[in-house]
Amino acid sequence: MRKAQGAIEYLFMIAAALIIIAVVIRYLRGTGETAGQQANQTVSQAGQLIQSAISQAISNATK
C-alpha cells in the first residue's frame, strides 16, 4: 500500500508542475501579444511622424 501511495503522490506532483507550466506559458503568450501590439503602434506613429516631416520638407523646398 505504501508504494501505491508514493506513486500517486508522485503523479500529483507531476500534474501540479504541468498545471503551473501551462499557466506560465499562457501568461507569457498574453504578455508577448501585448508587447507586439505596442511595438506595432509605436512603429506606426514613428512612420507617420517621418512622413509628415518629409512632406513639410518638400513643401518648404518648393516655396
Confidence band for 63, pLDDT divided at 50, 70 and 90: low
Is 60 exposed, middle or buried (CB count within 10 Å of its CB: 0-12, 13-18, 19+)? exposed
With a pLDDT cut of 70, the percent of the chain lying above it is 97
With a pLDDT cut of 90, the percent of the chain lying above it is 33
Confidence band for 11, pLDDT divided at 50, 70 and 90: very high
Confidence band for 1, pLDDT divided at 50, 70 and 90: low
CA–CA separation, 28 and 26 (whole Å): 6
User: What Cα–Cα distance (Å) separates residue 27 from each residue in 6, 40, 41?
Assistant: 32, 20, 21
Q: How far is CA 62 from the centre of its chain?
A: 45
